[in-house]
Amino acid sequence: MRRNTLAALTLGFVLAGTATAVAHHAFSAEFDRDKRVEMRGYVTKVEWTNPHVWFYINVKDEKTGKVTTWGFEMGPPHGLQARGWTRELMKIGDEVIVTGSLAKNGSNRANARDVILAKTGKTYGAASSEEAGQ
């Protein structure tokens, strides 16, 4: 009985670890480091979750006036905290300037590398998975 319980628990941990590893992606699987971008806009949403923090901004095209929403992936919460981030640092309505790498699939998504908060002028690293060479 003990052997079966131990085997079942071991199998469960192995499967859980495999699912987590498969769910997480390498930088190069989704983003193109050769397609750099810099955008300025206003924060509409912040998702402070694992494995990556995401935030969304409305970006206005200076020529047409059209506003487009862009999503930016950052690193994990602990990686951001090591760079001075807190949950309260970037709020909805804040103006930000973001540099990063565009998504390979052409969607309005990018991996953030640095974020400048317009209200303070301070630059924060985004704990990008690109830094890890993935």
The pTM (predicted TM-score) of the whole model is 0.78
Query: Quick one: which of 50, 76, 57, 55 has its CA closest to 129?
Result: 76
- Say which CATH number the domain at 46 has: 2.40.50.1010
| Contact call for residues 103 and 30 (beta carbons, < 8 A) | yes
Question: Structural domain of residue 125, as residue ranges?
Answer: 27-132
Flag whether 55 is in a domain.
Answer: yes
Each residue's pLDDT tens digit, 13-66: 444 443 344 445 577 778 999 999 999 999 999 999 999 999 999 999 999 999
Each residue's pLDDT tens digit, 64-116: 999 999 999 999 999 999 999 999 999 999 999 999 999 999 999 999 999 99
Flag whether 9 is in a domain.
Answer: no
Q: Show the tokens assigned to 76.
A: 């994990």
Question: Rounded to 5 degrees, what are φ and ψ at 69?
Answer: -90, 130
Flag whether 19 is in a domain.
Answer: no
Flag whether 1 is in a domain.
Answer: no
**Residue 28 or residue 6, greater confidence:** 28
The domain total for the chain is 1
